Structure 1
């Protein structure tokens, strides 16, 4: 395009006419060739479908009576159609019943049967058609045809199109050289006058008008413009000086204002960072700094927020020979979720002090939150209540990913499928508890969806299967609760490397150590 702009008007006119003719000829040629190719392929496919129908019907009896020899003889009739290179009959079960290959292509590997379909490759057409007898599917026929002849025909079409294009361009070139002078000569004269005025500042020069068309009007306008330029020059210089003074004054004002705004922005950013750090410290203070020491059990929990503050939360409660382990995930991120987390932490502590079964605690929490949170906010919550003496665990779940249960006796891991609405969605939701008898070496793992839904650069998620697999490996390797969380977080971070963390990641592990 840059080269085209630098050409003279004469050459541009010639080039435009040639390009227009070339585009028209190419489009016409391409349309003709493409249309003929499509018709040829359609005709070949129609012939192939007809052959498949005829041969398939002729093989119905052979398939019904399992007469492979008769089917092979029927297929051999295809040698009258030299473009068909391979054919096969498949029985009702999809096994090859009879085959045909053109001479010299006996080593062809026949594909598995497919539903009625046509497959176009570079040099072949493949066709699958069902063989039906009295509405019953008794087999499938496969035909493979050579398209080499069609490709040769395409080459001939392209060669003919190139010849027509060359002849058309030659004629267009000759005509363009003849007709472009009527347009280019007046424009070239006007350009020469413009160049002379620019070099000499001689505004007394005039361009001779040769026609009454648009080019003549252009010459009149050019001459009139020369008369006005000298007068406008003085006005322009005065306006330019005035504008420069105003620009300088405005620039100074903008620079001063920008400096003030920049300082205000920095101060605001420092204040926001301070508030975010305070909120982060407050949220982290809601969660335990270390896990409780319980004889016979190994506990660990960790929360990695996606931003300075987040919506995940976990906590332990120990009273009357029982240990409660909880994990919560509030909808939203950052400050949007942090405030409900702080409110939920206090509400949960008060409900734990009141006591009761898990079903009762979940019910009270749900009703209180439904009347307090806005309609767009809800809380996924899971809690397990462990009887330390008997190693029995009551577990309830409202919307969190299913807890993982590793059984040391079998080395297997499973999901504890407890389904219920998250808290604050419906005031009348019911929550049930599942009883698990834990044995030495068993582990219960609670995870937030930030671990499950962590993405990599290909937009794949870490997923339930990878999570279960990594937990199972760590349990089999005998990792402690804290080491198990560390390994799981490392695997998730490695999986989603170079991708910003999109959600809070929280994990709590209960290990029956037996120590």
Structure 2
């Protein structure tokens, strides 16, 4: 007796037993039969063919239409099996990619981690939330003697390519010669790095400022980055941190202008990525006045509490769906 005949005989015995008493034992035998069939590489459609043949032997008077329906089922199972295998393969690949992205996001978070400097005259708060798993925003604090450098950058784009650019900016910043007290020189050096190493279709905006804790001055420059805010405590007024400068990576020999402000007690410097100022609700983009109103509302808090409260508010008005990477930094001179 060949293998196929043995298979049919075994299946006939199991099916007969199940039709007679519908017992758990018969079901268990069916499961064992299924496992052995898989080991022998018996396809689902072959099993259906055996079932059809055995059923016809048990019920010889069965209508032809019923038997014909099994032919339809065999064809259906063949197509279904191919589609199911393709679906499983794609699902496995998606899970693999998702796992790799999660690992990459965790590595990026560790690489870009930057401690917030502590100073007796200056209160600093920072928050950076990616819209997706990988962050296309970058911020960094550099404490060097009596100065605190603060960088904030944004890749024009999202996802893994943007995250890779951010990692490059981080290492380029770390490689710059000290001291890094002149913002325009920092941007000019970084611009050459970006222009030589980043795809021409990608650009990076960046703001770099240096707070002198002895002179209480803030010197800064910008490469096409979103304008920040400056709050003057004395006049209880806001103004934009207006700057000029091309985004990084456009022209190798770009030069940048630097600006300087004398920071009085109670003054607040607010740096943002466009994920803050271009937050959207159903009515459209929020006005910059929304940000200044929030700063005024929370300025009695610490700088860190301020950035967290502002983020929670903007997240809420967007139905908890941040559409772009969100980075907000506040430097607040203590009164």
Q: Same fold (TM over 0.5)?
A: yes
Counterpart of 2:176 in 1: which secondary structure?
helix
Give the corresponding residue for 1:512.
333
Give the corresponding residue for 2:296.
472
Give the corresponding residue for 2:124.
299
Give the corresponding residue for 2:313.
491
Q: How does 1:320-359 map to 2 (within 5 A)?
A: 320-351=145-176, 353=178, 355=180, 357-359=182-184
Tell me which of 186, 210, 224 is aligned to 1:385: 210
Counterpart of 1:375 in 2: which secondary structure?
coil
Give the corresponding residue for 1:501.
322
Conserved? CA contact 2:151–2:208, under 8 Å: yes
Q: In 2, distance between residues paired with 1:505 and 1:243?
A: 62
Q: In 2, distance between residues paired with 1:483 and 1:280?
A: 25
Q: In 1, distance between residues paired with 2:81 and 2:177?
A: 59
- Scaled by the length of structure 2, the TM-score of the pair is 0.75
Q: How does 1:6-85 map to 2 (within 5 A)?
A: none
The offset of 1:335, in angstroms, is 1.2
Give the corresponding residue for 2:274.
449
Tell me which of 462, 465, 475 is aligned to 2:286: 462
Tell me which of 97, 109, 115 is aligned to 1:284: 109
Conserved? CA contact 1:288–1:316, under 8 Å: no
Q: In 1, distance between residues paired with 2:254 and 2:292?
A: 29
Q: Which range moves more in the overlay, 353-362 or 442-451?
A: 353-362
Q: In 2, distance between residues paired with 1:339 and 1:246?
A: 54
Unmatched runs of 5 consecutive residues or more in structure 2: 1-63
Give the corresponding residue for 1:266.
91
Tell me which of 401, 411, 415 is aligned to 2:240: 415
Conserved? CA contact 2:108–2:163, under 8 Å: yes
CA distance change for structure 1 residues 415 and 507 in 2, over 3 Å: closer, same or farther? same
Q: Which gives a bigger RCO, structure 1 or 2 (Cα 8 Å, sep 6+)? A: 2
Give the corresponding residue for 1:427.
252
Conserved? CA contact 1:413–1:472, under 8 Å: no
The offset of 1:243, in angstroms, is 7.8
CA distance change for structure 1 residues 247 and 354 in 2, over 3 Å: closer, same or farther? farther
Conserved? CA contact 1:462–1:495, under 8 Å: no
Q: In 1, distance between residues paired with 2:139 and 2:112?
A: 6
The offset of 1:244, in angstroms, is 5.1
Question: What does the per-residue CA deviation read over 1:220-250, in whole Å, with 9 as the maximum and x for residues that have no partner?
Answer: xxxxxxxxxxxxxxxxxx9x99985653222
Unmatched runs of 5 consecutive residues or more in structure 1: 1-237
CA distance change for structure 1 residues 356 and 440 in 2, over 3 Å: closer, same or farther? closer
The offset of 1:490, in angstroms, is 2.0
Tell me which of 219, 222, 230 is aligned to 1:397: 222
Give the corresponding residue for 1:316.
141
Q: In 2, distance between residues paired with 1:267 and 1:281?
A: 21
Counterpart of 1:371 in 2: which secondary structure?
helix
Counterpart of 1:424 in 2: which secondary structure?
coil
Counterpart of 1:329 in 2: which secondary structure?
strand
Give the corresponding residue for 2:77.
252
Q: In 1, distance between residues paired with 2:242 and 2:280?
A: 24
Question: What does the per-residue CA deviation read over 1:413-441, in whole Å, with 9 as the maximum and x for residues that have no partner?
Answer: 11110121111112222211111111111
Q: In 2, distance between residues paired with 1:340 and 1:250?
A: 51
Q: How does 1:366-377 map to 2 (within 5 A)?
A: 366-377=191-202
Question: What does the per-residue CA deviation read over 1:105-135, in whole Å, with 9 as the maximum and x for residues that have no partner?
Answer: xxxxxxxxxxxxxxxxxxxxxxxxxxxxxxx
In the comparison of the two structures, how many residue pairs are matched? 273
Q: In 1, distance between residues paired with 2:165 and 2:201?
A: 12
Conserved? CA contact 1:396–1:431, under 8 Å: yes
Counterpart of 1:367 in 2: which secondary structure?
helix
